[in-house]
Amino acid sequence: MKPILITGGVGFIGTNVAMRLLESGRSVVALDNMSRRGVEQNLHWLRARHPKLFRIEVADVRDTAALARIVPEVSAVYHFAAQTAVTTSMSDPDHDFDVNARGTVKLLEAVRACKSPPPLLYTSTNKVYGGLNDVVLRKRAGRYEPEDAAIRAAGVSEARPLAFHTPYGCSKGTADQYVLDYARSYSMPAVVFRMSCIYGPYQCGTEDQGWVAHFALRALAGKPITIYGDGCQVRDLLYIEDLVDAMLLAQQRIDTVGGQAFNIGGGAANTASLLDVVDALERLNGGCEVKFHDWRPSDQRYYVSDTGLFRAATGWRPKTDVARGIAQMYDWLRTTQAQRLSRKRAGRDSERSSPDLTTAPSETR
């Protein structure tokens, strides 16, 4: 069978999707410019475990020539390559637009040029709904929740009007709409996932993106966790394996789900405030230090995905609850860090016991 293309293929989501596909015997081409810190380790894991089925193409999603060469040879496309941080988009909106919007259009054009266009799945964001400032909230038991009982019970649905906020929201929202319009205007098999908070193994979490993993990494390092706002912000958390399940289902059922946008997250059954996540990590780690700073732009105080539309179309629902997911992610990060430390120590010991080859031969005998 033709390989499957994953843009941003050695990032967090790309690595997990690639692993699942490779383990099922499918070949994968990962297109990645290797700009994100930590992805070199993901690349090492993929190459080491599946050397015959995995191929890396070090290129940017805006590279028209690379796309024209690679896209015609693949059977499906998962489009994850992006500028992912709201903060970065605020400081450099031109770059943010160029990668997220223009890069997506370049990929869509490469797909459209194929005689038989491969199905494409694009990962959008809940930020396309803006700050949700019109949703009246109350604070109860250390977390925000909507006054509206329907939103409280099910979350935010796809019927919610789009309201792009911040350059990041604008660039991802623009790409979101381009994917849907290419499906409509050119009959291209494509689907959009508007995603909430995803977490799990292979995530190089930072303060700006991948906050659950970032909190865990800070706890493991014995460093303070910074919370912007009061920590009562609520998100629905989706463990990465459940997201991969949803993505594979979407590709398998592209004939029925194509041309649609779906809100994808843990849903109302898997919500947590930032403080809830800190509490979970404290239990696992034996304590965490927390610092508070001012709110950041367009930080939604409450966002929970109503995943009912995708569930009705495919039967999908998350299998991993928040407590188990955070524990699994924490154990993976702790084990991985211990392995890295062991390799570093082994390297230092080897250097001490090896002869210094930079000295004269008479001194090394």
pLDDT (tens, 9 = 90+) of the chain, 365 residues, equals 899 999 999 999 999 999 999 999 999 999 999 988 889 999 999 999 999 999 999 999 999 999 999 999 999 999 999 998 888 999 999 999 999 999 999 999 999 999 999 999 999 999 999 989 999 999 999 999 999 999 999 999 999 999 999 999 999 999 999 999 999 999 999 999 999 999 999 998 888 788 999 999 999 999 999 999 999 999 999 999 999 999 999 999 999 999 999 999 999 999 999 999 999 999 999 999 999 999 987 789 999 999 999 999 999 999 999 999 999 999 999 998 888 777 777 666 554 443 332 222 222 22
52 in any annotated domain: no
Per-residue 3-state assignment (H helix, E strand, C coil) for the chain: CCCEEEECCCCHHHHHHHHHHHHCCCCEEEEECCCCCCHHHHHHHHHHHCCCCEEEEECCCCCHHHHHHHHHHCCEEEECCCCCCHHHHHHCHHHHHHHHHHHHHHHHHHHHCCCCCCCEEEEEEHHHHCCCCCCCEEEECCEEEECCHHHHHHCECCCCCCCCCHHHHHHHHHHHHHHHHHHHHCCCCEEEEEECEEECCCCCCCCCCCHHHHHHHHHHHCCCEEEECCCCCEEEEEEHHHHHHHHHHHHHCHHHHCCCEEEECCCHHHEEEHHHHHHHHHHHHCCCCEEEECCCCCCCCEECECCHHHHHHHCCCCCCCHHHHHHHHHHHHHHHHHHHHHHHHHHHHHHHHCCCCCCCHHHHC
15 in any annotated domain: no
5 in any annotated domain: no
Taking the complete model, does pTM exceed 0.85, yes or no? yes
160 in any annotated domain: yes
Q: How many domains does the chain have?
A: 1
186: annotated active-site residue: no
Which residue among the candidates 122, 144, 168, 202 is catalytic per the annotation?
Answer: 168
63 in any annotated domain: no
157 in any annotated domain: yes
65 in any annotated domain: no
348 in any annotated domain: no
Residues spanned by the domain of 281: 82-342
For residue 190, what is the domain's CATH number? 3.40.50.720
